[in-house]
Amino acid sequence: MNFPEHDGLTGLLTRRAFNERAGSVMHSGEKGLAVVWFNLDNFKMFNKRFGFTRGDEILKEIALILGSTFSHDEYSNNLLARFSDDNFVILTDWASVEMNIDVVQEYLYSLHENVTLRLRAGIYFPSDGEDIRASCDRAKLACDAIRKNHSVSSCMFHDGMSRELALQQHILDHLDSAMMNEYITVLYQPIVRLSTGKICEAEALARWNDPERGFISPGEFIPTLEQYREIHKLDIYAIKKVCRDYRARTERGLPIVPVSVNLSRLDFELCDIIREVEMAVMMNNIPRGMMRIEITESINEEDTTVLNLGIEKFRAMGYQVWMDDFGSGYSSLNVLKDYNFDTIKFDMKFLHGFDVNKSEKAKYIISSNLEMARLMGMQALAEGVETEEQLEYLRSIGFGKAQGYYFGKPMKLDEMFSLKRGIETVSS
- Structural domain spans, the chain: 15-157, 167-417
Q: What is the predicted pLDDT for the residue at 427?
A: 47
Residue 210, strand partner residues: 214
- CB 115, CB 46: distance < 8 Å: yes
Per DSSP, 35 falls in state: E
Q: What is the predicted pLDDT for the residue at 82?
A: 95
C-alpha dihedral (82, 84, 88, 92), degrees to nearest 10: -60
Domain covering 167-417 in this structure, CATH number: 3.20.20.450
d(CA 222, CA 216): 10
- CB 346, CB 366: distance < 8 Å: yes
- CB 44, CB 104: distance < 8 Å: no
d(CA 355, CA 183): 39
- CB 89, CB 36: distance < 8 Å: yes
pLDDT tens across the length of the chain (428 residues): 467 899 999 999 999 999 999 999 888 878 889 999 999 887 877 787 788 888 899 899 999 999 988 876 555 678 999 998 899 999 998 888 888 998 888 888 777 666 677 889 999 999 877 899 999 999 998 998 888 777 788 999 988 887 888 898 899 999 999 999 999 999 999 999 999 999 999 999 999 999 999 999 999 999 899 988 899 999 999 999 999 999 999 999 999 999 999 999 899 989 999 999 999 999 999 999 999 999 975 554 555 778 889 999 999 999 999 998 776 554 466 677 778 899 999 887 755 555 555 567 767 777 887 888 888 888 989 999 988 888 888 888 889 999 999 999 999 999 999 998 888 866 44
Q: What is the predicted pLDDT for the residue at 352?
A: 56
Question: For residue 340, which phi and psi values (nearest 5 degrees)?
Answer: -110, 120
Amino acid at 120: R
Q: What is the predicted pLDDT for the residue at 206?
A: 97
Q: What is the predicted pLDDT for the residue at 306?
A: 84
**344-348: long-range contacts, CB 8 A cutoff, minimum separation 24:** 344/373, 344/378, 344/379, 344/380, 344/381, 345/294, 345/381, 345/382, 345/383, 346/370, 346/380, 346/381, 346/382, 346/383, 346/399, 347/383, 347/384, 348/382, 348/383, 348/384, 348/385, 348/386, 348/390, 348/404
d(CA 405, CA 401): 14
Q: What is the predicted pLDDT for the residue at 327?
A: 64
d(CA 321, CA 296): 11
d(CA 344, CA 114): 33
Strands 199-210 and 184-193: antiparallel
User: CATH number for the 15-157 domain, one of 1.10.8.10, 3.20.190.10, 3.40.50.10470, 3.30.70.270?
Assistant: 3.30.70.270
d(CA 235, CA 255): 25
Q: What is the predicted pLDDT for the residue at 185?
A: 97
d(CA 403, CA 203): 9
d(CA 238, CA 277): 10
d(CA 182, CA 94): 46
Sheet containing strand 119-124, edge to edge, reads 79-84, 87-93, 33-40, 119-124, 154-156
Closest CA to 191 of 419, 404, 393, 351: 404
The angle subtended at Cα 276 by Cα 270 and Cα 280, nearest 5°, is 155
- 3-state DSSP assignment of residue 201: strand
- CB 324, CB 303: distance < 8 Å: no
d(CA 405, CA 383): 9
- CB 252, CB 283: distance < 8 Å: no
Q: What is the predicted pLDDT for the residue at 303?
A: 58
- 3-state DSSP assignment of residue 341: coil
Per DSSP, 349 falls in state: G
Question: For residue 363, which phi and psi values (nearest 5 degrees)?
Answer: -60, -45
